[in-house]
Amino acid sequence: MSTVTVPLGERSYDVVVGAGARHELARLVAATVPGARLAAVVTQSAIGVEVDPGVPVVRCEVADGEGAKSLTTVEDLCRRFAEAGLSRGDVVVAVGGGVVTDLAGFAAATYHRGVAYVNVATSLLAQVDAAVGGKTGVNLPEGKNLVGAFWQPAAVVCDTDVLVTLPEREWRSGRGEMAKYAFLGHAVAEGEVPEPLELLGLALDEQVARCVAVKAAVVAADEREGGRRAVLNYGHTLAHALEAVGFEDRGGRSGGLRHGEAVAVGLVFAAELAHRLGRVDARRVEEHRQVVVAFGLPTTLPGGVEPANLVELMRRDKKAHHDLTFVLDGPRGVELVHGVGPDAVLATLEAMERTS
């Protein structure tokens, strides 16, 4: 097992990665929430991962799927906490994927104006991305993650043993985020930046730890998304647009895209757009394709999309400031780029459409 620290001063915390890491939970709770006498374990019926936080437990199940990420669910959780007598000195333990960690983290941030929580991430996507960084929140009918809080966990556990039962589509979704981190090595590099393809040669535990280390470095530099943290959205601008027009697979439909699959397409698009803008050469674009393909992910737009519609949706991206804004590769590595011309964006999408 390995430990990656998210360095945030008094709010610093450890992410424990490796086979059997969930068995470290009681030690972590005792070390980080020493006064805890009760743990509210938030999970889903389908997760099936048992944990021992070292204190008495009240189990709180939430529904499966993105639809569970609602203010109604947060209210239900907080009422369960209150009924169980959870105090400000106790702990919430999230056991699940990104939906569970988002919900439990937001409920913990608001209950008693903030109680400690620990994430036990059970999906690959949660282990490499969603469970680390302190962004919590829920959806509104008007959009995803519009209500939330920055509330850092006391610790995070990434037990790679629990990944063996993941369906293939969940693996693919997590690999999409992994592919993103392959291109963010400059965030932690001291000297020579690691090549993106290096990530593929590592064992699973090492891949997860590398991704966590990159995210930890970015979060430490920009905890509340003031600027640099935007690089964590690499590939996501197009991905969110694809999700918005109905290509998001919320229930395992074979024709839909899981989030990480959409991110993979978004990575290739971002590389092609950067090339069109003269920021990277053709070799770098090909490197993006190689990494995405090596992770078994799509590189082209799904059939039936309207490029002009995608452009309009990307104008509404949360990074935008009344313009088209993207996270793009370039001479200084991946960074936020404002004021990208719509003609270049449309041309890039149309070129990808012709190759699909």
Which residue out of 80, 175, 259, 288 is catalytically annotated?
259
Number of domains the chain contains: 2
Residue 209 lies in a domain: no
177 is catalytic: yes
pLDDT value of position 251 = 47
Q: Are residue 192 and residue 289 in the same domain, yes or no?
A: yes
Residue 292 lies in a domain: yes
pTM higher than the cut 0.85: yes
Alpha helices, DSSP H only, in the chain? 25-32, 71-84, 98-110, 124-125, 168-182, 204-221, 236-242, 259-276, 282-294, 307-315, 342-355
Q: Are residue 314 and residue 332 in the same domain, yes or no?
A: yes
Q: Which of 165, 186, 207 is the last residue of a domain?
A: 165
Residue 42 lies in a domain: yes
User: pLDDT per residue over 253-300, tens digit each?
Assistant: 445 788 899 999 999 999 999 999 999 999 999 999 999 999 999 999
321 is catalytic: no
233 is catalytic: yes
Residue 41 exposed, middle or buried by CB count within 10 Å (0-12, 13-18, 19+)? buried
CA distance 100 to 339: 36
Q: Which of 111, 107, 106, 118 is nearest to 88 (CA)?
A: 111
Which residue out of 24, 139, 223, 233 is catalytically annotated?
233
pLDDT value of position 252 = 44
Q: Are residue 138 and residue 172 in the same domain, yes or no?
A: no
Q: Which long-range contacts (CB under 8 A, 24 or more apart) does 248-252 make?
A: 249/169, 250/65, 250/66, 250/67, 251/65, 252/167, 252/169
Q: Are residue 97 and residue 188 in the same domain, yes or no?
A: no
215 is catalytic: yes
pLDDT higher than 70, residue 249: no
User: pLDDT per residue over 129-172, tens digit each?
Assistant: 999 999 999 998 877 788 999 999 999 999 999 999 899 989 99
Q: Are residue 234 and residue 89 in the same domain, yes or no?
A: no
pLDDT higher than 70, residue 317: yes
272 is catalytic: no
Residue 211 lies in a domain: no
Q: Are residue 187 and residue 321 in the same domain, yes or no?
A: yes
Q: Are residue 242 and residue 322 in the same domain, yes or no?
A: yes
- Domain holding 105: CATH number? 3.40.50.1970
pLDDT value of position 79 = 98
Residue 206 lies in a domain: no
Which residue out of 236, 275, 288, 319 is catalytically annotated?
236
Which residue out of 240, 275, 276, 319 is catalytically annotated?
240
Q: Are residue 263 and residue 327 in the same domain, yes or no?
A: yes
Q: Which of 165, 187, 216 is the last residue of a domain?
A: 165
Residue 69 lies in a domain: yes
User: pLDDT per residue over 197-215, tens digit each?
Assistant: 889 899 999 999 999 999 9
Which residue out of 135, 175, 258, 276 is catalytically annotated?
135
Q: Which of 115, 143, 165 is the last residue of a domain?
A: 165
Range of the domain at 74: 2-165
144 is catalytic: no
289 is catalytic: no
Which residue out of 69, 172, 180, 229 is catalytically annotated?
229
pLDDT value of position 265 = 96
Angle separating helix axes 204-221 and 168-182, nearest 10 degrees: 50
Q: Are residue 47 and residue 182 in the same domain, yes or no?
A: no
- Domain holding 271: CATH number? 1.20.1090.10
Which residue out of 119, 139, 170, 177 is catalytically annotated?
177
Q: Are residue 12 and residue 155 in the same domain, yes or no?
A: yes
Q: Are residue 117 and residue 182 in the same domain, yes or no?
A: no
Residue 49 lies in a domain: yes
Q: Are residue 304 and residue 336 in the same domain, yes or no?
A: yes
Amino acid letter at 145? N
Residue 341 lies in a domain: yes
Which residue out of 50, 83, 113, 283 is catalytically annotated?
113
